[in-house]
Chain A
C-alpha cells in the first residue's frame, strides 16, 4: 500500500492520474495544484513518493524540487517528474537535478503505477 502525492496545476490531469493509481494499483493518493501547496502537503501527508508536473506557473517542477531538497521533512521523499517536454535539450535540464526519474505525458493510465514502481525501485 503506497501513498502518493500528485502535484500538477492541471485539474484534469490530477484527477485522471489519481484515478489511475487508485483503481489500477490500489494506492492512496493526495493532490496539490502548485509547488508551494505541494511542499506543504508533503510535510503533513508524508507520502512514499511525489509525482510532480514540470510546467507549472509560479514555481515550476525543478524549482519546487530544489526547494524540497532544502526543506526538512520533505527532502527524504523520492520525486518523479512528469513532463510533456520530450526534446533532448529539455531532458538535459533534468539530468543534473537528482530526481528519481522522469515520466512522459501522455502516460498510459494502465501502466502508470508500474512505471513509477520501476523508476523508484519498488519492484
Chain B
C-alpha cells in the first residue's frame, strides 16, 4: 500500500517538479526577453532622436542655403541693373575704354549669378532636396531640343553642331526627368563648343540597346589631359586655372551633370579621342542611362493622392466582382455591405465616388442617396447606381432621386460600361469641355483643329494641341483635359507610353479617349490603350468630320448624366 502510494505520489510529483522546472526556465527566458525588449526600445528612442536631429539639421541647412542665396541675389540685383543700363549707353554716351570696363563688370556679374544658381543646385541635389520627377521621355526629342538651344552659341563660335542617331529609325522612350537631362545635354554641348576651335565639329550621338541608352558628345578641341579625365567632374576643378576665367564657366557644371546622372542611376565619364583613334584630337563625354532606372534618391511622386471608390452592395459576390474590376484599373476600393455602412465610410474616409446598389435590406439605395446628399461632407460625392432596372422603369415618386444619381449602370453589367460610366462621373467638368489633341503632323493637326473651329463656339469647347509626347505630358499636368484625342501613329511607342503614364495619374486614369490611327488596331493593343470610355478610329477610312462628330458625341455624353426621367413626368 505504501509502495503503491509512493509510486502514486512520485509520478505527479515528478510531473510537478518538471513543470516547476519548466516554469522557472520560462521565467528566466522572459527576463532575458524583457531585457532585450528594453534595449531595443532604448535604441529606437535613440534612433528617433538622431533622425529628428538630422532632419532638423537638414532643414536648417536648407533654410541657410535658401537665405544665403536670397541675400546674395539682393545686392546683385542692384549691381546688375546699374551696370546693364550703363553698359547699354542708356545713361549717356560712354567712351570706348569706359564701355569696355562696364562690359567686363557686367559679364562678371552675370557669372556671379550663374555661380549662385549652380551652388544652390548642387547643394539641393546633394541633400536630397531636389528630387527628380520621372516621366516618359523621347531621347530623340531631348537631343534635338538641346541642339536647338545651343545652335546660336555654336553659330557665334563658328562651330558646326551635328546630331546623329545610332538606332534604326524610330525613337526611344524611357523614364527620366526631362528638364534635368536637358540641363546635362546643354551643359555638355556648351563645354564642347567652348573648347572647340572655329570651323570644328561638335557631334552628339545616341545609341541604345535592350538595357540602356548612351549619349556621346564629341569635340575636337585641345582635349582633356589623361590625368584630369576624372577630376574635371569634381567641384571647381578646371583643366587649367586660366580656362575658367576665359570661358566664363562656374567650375560646377560637370559636378552638377554627374549628380543628375547619378540620380537617374546612370554613369557619365570622359575619354580622349586619341585613345580610340590615334591622331584625333579632342574629348568625348559619354552618358549612359538605364532604361528603367531604380533611382537612388526618393523620387517625387508625380501623382496626387486620391480617394477611394466605395462599392455598396449587400450581395458579397457582386460586391467582390465589381471591386476587382475597379482595383484592376489601379483604384483604391472600399466596400460596404449596407446603406448604413456606406454612410459611415463616406463620412469618415476619403471617397471619390460611390457605386451603389439600389435594393438592399435596411437602408435602401434610395434612402442612402437621400442621406448622402443631405450630409455636407458627402453631398458632393458622385453616385453611380447599380441596378437590374433601368431608370426608365422607375415610378414617378422616385424621379427626383434619380436626378441625384450621376450615373446608372444596369446589372448584369458589362465591365467596360461600368468603368466608362465611372470614368465619366469622375471627369465631370464645369465650363467649356477641355480637349487635348496629341498630333505631331502639323498639317493634320491644322485640319483636325479647324474642323472644330465652327463647333467650338456653340458647344463651348476648348481644344489644345500638343505636337509631341513631352508636350502632351506637360499639358496634362498643367491643365488636365477631359477628353484626349490621340494619333496612334506618333513616333514609335509614344501613344502607348502616353497612355501608360496617364494610367498612373489618379486624376487622369479613366480619361475618355479617341484614338485614331492609319492602321487597324489589334484587340490586345486596344486593351493597352483603354482608359475610360475609349473609341478607336482608323484614319485612312475616317474623315476629320467623323472624328469631330465622335468627339462631340462624347463631349455631350460627358457633360450630361445618362439617366433619363421616366416618361409621363
Contact = CB atoms under 8 A, between A and B. Distances in A.
Contact of A106 (B66, B76, B85, B88): B76
Interface residues of B, number: 24
A19 B85 contact: yes
B212 to A, nearest CB: 29
Interface in B87-111: 88, 90-91, 109
Given A16-B82, A109-B84, A110-B88, 18 more contacts: A10-B77, A15-B78, A16-B81, A19-B85, A20-B85, A23-B85, A88-B130, A105-B73, A105-B76, A106-B73, A106-B76, A106-B81, A106-B113, A107-B77, A107-B81, A109-B82, A109-B85, A110-B84
A35 B70 CA distance: 19
Contacts, number: 70
Contact of B77 (A16, A19, A23): A16
B135 interface: no
Interface of B: 66, 69-70, 73-82, 84-85, 88, 90-91, 109, 113, 117, 120, 124, 130
21 contacts: A12-B75, A12-B78, A13-B74, A13-B77, A17-B81, A19-B81, A55-B70, A84-B70, A84-B74, A85-B69, A85-B70, A86-B69, A87-B66, A88-B130, A106-B79, A106-B113, A107-B81, A109-B81, A109-B84, A110-B85, A110-B88
Nearest to A10: B74
Contacts of A45: none
B90 A13 contact: no
A108 B109 CA distance: 11
A59 interface: no
Contact of A108 (B70, B80, B124): B80
A23 B81 CA distance: 12
Nearest to B71: A84
Interface size class of A (residues with CB under 8 A): 20 to 34
Contacts of B91: 19, 23
Nearest to B74: A84
Contacts of A12: 75, 78, 82
Contacts of B82: 12, 16, 109
Contacts of B88: 110
A109 B88 CA distance: 10
Contacts of B77: 10, 13, 16, 84, 105-107
Nearest to B67: A85
A88 B81 CA distance: 25
Contacts of A90: 66
A108 B70 CA distance: 17
A88 B62 CA distance: 12
B66 A20 contact: no
Contact of A84 (B73, B85, B130): B73
A120 interface: no
A13 B73 CA distance: 11
Given A23-B90, A23-B91, A87-B124, A105 B74 contact: yes
A87 B81 CA distance: 22
